[in-house]
A and B are shown apart, each in its own frame.
Chain A
Amino acid sequence: MVSNDLLAKAASYTEVSLSFVDDDGYPFSIPVKVEVDREDGLVKIAKPQTLPALDGKEISLTFNHITPLPAGGYTDRRYIVLWGKLSDTADGFHLKPSKGYVWDEKEVPFFQYSEMKVSRARRYLNELNEKPWMSTPWLIMRTFRLPFIIATLLPVLIGSAIAYRAGHFDWVLLALTLSGALLMHLGANTANDYYDTHLGADGVNTTPTPFSGGSRIILYGLLPGRFVLSLASATYLLGAFIGFYLAFSRGLPVLVIGLVGFLISWGYTAPPLKLAYRGLGELGVGLGFGPILVLGSYYVQTQSFSLEALFASIPLGLLVMLILYVNEIPDRNWDDEAGKRTLVARGKDNAIVRGYETTMMIVYGIILGGALTRIFPLSTIIALLTLPLAVREKRLISGNLSNPYGLIPAMSSNIKIFLYTAILMLAGYLISFLV
């Protein structure tokens, strides 16, 4: 038996066709007029005069809708199929459906519908002895999630700019610091994919977006899990070589900073730490992309620590943390299901928005306070220019908390807030060198 809800939905369609297997063994289909009787749980079908006797025959009814677009193509796709044995009555055909299937892209968007079928696709490709295809540049881009390396690049540049202001700067050391930090970041991205697939968080998620839900290269079968883990190990190893060289040439603190950075990066999703699964991922990311990168870059140049670098690292770390925080929102129900208890998976809607707002206020408060108290150059105050974007961002988030695809513009603009604020901070430092 099919649900009354499904019958109610079927009643709203105007295009209906009846199909059965004809005497010649081929399916035969014909458009029909129907009336849905929800009380009796049956569909009454006006019998086309040309049809043969179908009493007791297994048939299907397809209720189908599309809206053609003026420029070609179509939208608003939805359809229902009902199956059962037909009764031929004096009142026409009657179908008491025994089984039903429905897809409505307004309820299950096409991308989600596709994600729900990934295991079927992989099974089918396995039977054909095939692997899914993706062009090599896109595969590299997707595997390493290359666009996100901007979150490493800017903190390292700002840490080095603060060192320049303190009278220490070496291009080779900057290049080495950047290379080591980027390799660690790429290691984190690939390890994160391996463990989120392995621990089931990516698998249960059927609403991934370009910014959330992982790269899915293992899940789609684009690359084997072991290979991705090897990539992570190789990038970490290369990063470690550079880290050891810098520690040897610049001092032991580099080794300590590097080790803490590695632990956060690897332990973000990897057992036994699994920081992201314990609600500590956001803190880890904030520390890693803030104090670890900025202070580390500063130390490599100056062989000392500074209060200015520490203060400057806080808004940067918080902004990268907010990238993660917002990107976790569309995943929150899936993460909860997989036991990945991120901050947003733990929080209620109001708390999530308040968390974003409060963190942003701290970010701008530190930039303003730092510039006015001259801990930072006064010119870094230009970083406050992104404030209107943050105000708009809060609205974008609160309006789409339960709409994963509706959050895509919010996730995109949140990354821009980090990018523009960090670039403006860097520009503030560069201006201070000129003035």
Chain B
Amino acid sequence: MRSIAESDPQILETLENALICEFTVISPTGRPITHPLLPLYDSDESRLYVTSSVLFSKKLDHIKKNPKVSALFSNREGIRVSPYRTVLVKGNAKVGEEDIHHGWEKLLPLWRKKEPFIDNFVKMRYALPLFWDRSIIEINPTKLYLWPRGDTDDLPKTFEVS
């Protein structure tokens, strides 16, 4: 058992550079529901986050009923790493809502690295206030999959993590 940081440098590089991941939750009827989201990886604490506005809160309801989630990193346009590879993170999600208005702001430094214009949008939060009431989704990984060349016909390298 190890952390994300101890898994494989290719996984770290992917998580840190990805502009998008396909985040999947499970509905109460057992259906996988996928949302393209901006992943935020905190390399200091080896933690993976996504956030969700209350406007798009259905996924939060699903996570509260079933915390098992996954995040796929495979988008060639949105992940500028070379050589191309595919990463899948399976894990348990925890919804952080202690301060839904400002709690997510602690992730702004990570967000800013991927979307440098984010500060301008935040300054204009009065224009769309509900969008900026956000929950933090912390993904505690249980298993990582890495397809080093992105060829999913190959067996992936897998890492059990905690």
Chain A residues at the B interface, C-beta cutoff of 8 Å = 14-15, 17, 19-22, 24-32, 48-50, 58-60, 62, 64-68, 71-74, 77, 79, 81, 83, 111, 114, 117-118, 120-122, 124-125, 128, 130, 132-135, 138, 141-142, 210, 220, 222
Contact = CB atoms under 8 A, between A and B. Distances in A.
Given A19-B24, A21-B26, A30-B88, A125 B126 contact: no
B128 A114 contact: yes
B31 A60 contact: yes
Contacts of B129: 132-134, 220, 222
Contacts of A60: 24, 31-34
B84 to A, nearest CB: 10
A135 B101 CA distance: 11
B34 A62 contact: yes
Interface in B77-122: 77-78, 80, 86, 88, 90-91, 97, 100-102, 114-118
A121 B126 CA distance: 16
A111 B36 contact: no
A211 to B, nearest CB: 12
Top 9 closest A-B pairs, CB basis?
A29-B72, A27-B24, A133-B101, A138-B126, A31-B74, A117-B55, A19-B32, A48-B152, A124-B57
Interface size class of B (residues with CB under 8 A): 35 or more
Given A120-B55, A121-B55, A19 B130 contact: no
A280 B106 CA distance: 50
A27 B155 contact: no
Given A26-B91, A71-B117, A73-B118, 7 more contacts: A19-B72, A26-B142, A59-B32, A66-B19, A122-B130, A124-B57, A130-B101
A67 B142 CA distance: 31
Nearest to B112: A72
B20 interface: yes
B76 interface: yes
B20 A74 contact: yes
A27 B152 contact: no
A28 B34 contact: no
Given A15-B76, A15-B77, A73-B114, A124 B20 contact: no
Contact of A58 (B19, B31, B118): B31
Dominant secondary structure of chain A at its interface with chain B: mixed
Contacts of A117: 55-56
B7 interface: no
B20 A64 contact: yes
B77 A128 contact: no
B148 interface: no
A118 B55 contact: yes
B69 interface: yes
Contact of A74 (B19, B131, B154): B19
B48 to A, nearest CB: 14
Nearest to B78: A66
A50 B156 contact: yes
> In this complex, which of B61, B102, B130, B143 has the most chain A Cβ atoms within 10 angstroms of its Cβ?
B130
B44 interface: no
A120 B69 contact: no
A134 B76 CA distance: 38
Contact of A73 (B58, B117, B154): B117
Contact of B115 (A25, A27, A72, A111): A72
Nearest to B117: A73
Contacts of A135: 126
A31 B150 contact: yes
A203 to B, nearest CB: 14
Contacts of A114: 53, 55, 128, 130-131
A30 B53 CA distance: 26
Contacts of B4: none
Given A120-B58, A125-B54, A132-B130, A19 B150 contact: no
